[in-house]
Chains A and B, each alone.
Chain A
């Protein structure tokens, strides 16, 4: 059963940005990762799903009801953490968490146990009674995330959850989201970290300029790219146009003084490329090695779809 269904959803801002003709569905137990560059429409779409804004056109339903306006009974089944974490700064983290937990109907003694467990999970137990004003950016983000999880919602909607939080908490969040999925609970994540989304989401969509460029199941997408690395090389000279004839290179793009190479996950290959460039009178200024991510897999799929169409 799909808990989130979007059919030709469009919402435009006065600036012209927004989302256009978005159609998707997220079934119970799935975790959808929404990827896209800044301004691609991730937050606009997330706000629509959260029930903060109404679509200009199209139909969007969450939990079998129109997404906007959302009645209190359905709001109780959703947990939302937006990119800006508004907290009452003079009050402690525990007081802020208590307020949200109470609004979602939790009462003692469950509430106390649940709060302590989540504060411990976010590594905030020691600072729980300090005013939020004394918290760092990452601590506020973690507090905001556990506030959205406190009532174990059927639909969890997170906007940029990986921004500013530490790696151990992100791992625990991944476990928590996967475990939610096994219990049939749905999660929506708009984020910019493809590596984390690849570990967390079951499905992914790539947004570009307000439209869905590509979509797919995460295991299939990661299998499609295999174990590959992307190497970015910056040269001293900007007239380079030679391609190395080495085995294991899948893509090689050269533009000005910048070279982009997609290659097999062989630790020797980057060094061999540099040696080859130096041997052909190239002068290397910098080199960066990245694992090929979910974003590239989606971009690749988008490119293939374009060619097919």
Chain B
């Protein structure tokens, strides 16, 4: 692949090493396997699956971002004539897409094993909430990586953050005194994702127009941004700057003459 922008570069890098891809997928599947195969209440199974997504999604992004900072990749990227917004968008999209593969496999396995009367609407909501969850975890992971000074700090604060997310999203039972907080935050993608998973196994997915609309919007927005950035990173001429082609051609001729 010819990486014409940061999105293409990050994806090419993420999928260049087969062993690394297998490890990423394998770890998620292995961690989720007990919750798919061992008999336990549907809520416990869904909670287990969501915890796997929380850990792999959050830590994958945070550790990867610390590597970018400590390896001085971010510094190098900041010298490029590309807006910070474009760079951040590419980093977020690449992280979401590379995490989506293993998590989609795990959720697919859950639907196959536990799903009852799965409808298109329910699957659309599931995909939308997964996408929103991965976006949220990516942004939190990148934010944490910015604040932390080292990988050790990322792991320390990351464990606390994932714990807090799990409690406020209702993934793990919260103390009674936190009930108002968990109720107020029940709309968050992680809370909705676990609700959809429980609903899928109990045949009780509440397919409201709001939820369909939210899932569709998130999916369409993410896919549109990805397609636009993917096409922009193709071999076509870059837009927005004066083309340096002519002077570079002259410089190339001089290099060859030299």
Contact = CB atoms under 8 A, between A and B. Distances in A.
Contacts of B238: 102-103, 105-107
A117 B256 CA distance: 6
A123 to B, nearest CB: 13
Interface stretch (A9-17, A79-87, A268-276): A79-87
A152 B79 contact: no
Contacts of B3: 91, 95, 98-99, 102
B252 interface: yes
A35 B208 CA distance: 69
Interface string A93-105: 0010011101111
Interface in B62-80: 71-73, 75-76, 78-80
B13 A91 contact: yes
Interface in B1-52: 1-6, 9, 12-13, 16-17, 20
B248 A91 contact: no
Given A91-B9, A107-B235, A107-B245, A82 B80 contact: no
Nearest to A84: B72
Contact of A95 (B12, B17, B236, B256): B12
Contacts of B4: 98-99, 102
Interface in A252-296: none
Contacts of A151: 244, 248
A117 B4 CA distance: 19
Contacts of B258: 121, 172, 175-176, 179
A113 B13 contact: no
Interface in A126-181: 131, 150-152, 172, 175-176, 179
B12 A82 contact: no
A52 interface: yes
A117 B258 CA distance: 10
A237 to B, nearest CB: 49
A99 B2 CA distance: 8
Contacts of B177: none
Interface string B92-121: 000000000000000000000000000000
A52 B237 CA distance: 28
A59 interface: no
Interface in A61-113: 72-73, 75-76, 78, 80, 82, 84, 86, 88, 90-91, 95, 98-100, 102-108, 110, 113
A258 B91 CA distance: 57
Contacts of B6: 99
Contact of A105 (B16, B72, B241, B251): B241
Contacts of A172: 258
Interface residues of A, number: 40
A150 B252 CA distance: 9
A104 B244 contact: yes
A194 interface: no
Nearest to B234: A102
Contact of A117 (B243, B244, B252): B252
Nearest to B256: A117
Nearest to A116: B252
Interface residues on B, range: 35 or more
Contacts of A19: none
Nearest to B82: A103
Contacts of A107: 235-238, 243, 245
Interface in A22-77: 50-52, 72-73, 75-76
Contacts of B250: 152
B156 interface: no
B81 interface: yes
B83 interface: yes
A50 B255 CA distance: 25
Contacts of A75: 79-81
Contacts of B251: 114, 152
A51 B76 CA distance: 11
A179 B245 CA distance: 18
B249 A110 contact: yes
B241 A51 contact: no
Interface string A174-206: 011001000000000000000000000000000
Given A98-B4, A104-B81, A105-B241, A86 B248 contact: no
Nearest to B235: A108
Contacts of A175: 258
6 contacts: A86-B71, A95-B3, A102-B3, A102-B4, A152-B250, A176-B258
Shortest beta-carbon contacts, A-B, top 8: A76-B81, A107-B237, A90-B16, A152-B251, A72-B81, A75-B81, A102-B4, A110-B245
Interface of B: 1-6, 9, 12-13, 16-17, 20, 71-73, 75-76, 78-83, 233, 235-238, 241-245, 247-252, 254-256, 258
Given A76-B241, A82-B76, A91-B12, 19 more contacts: A52-B78, A72-B241, A78-B79, A86-B75, A86-B76, A88-B13, A90-B17, A91-B16, A95-B2, A102-B4, A104-B80, A105-B238, A105-B243, A107-B243, A107-B245, A108-B235, A113-B249, A114-B251, A131-B16
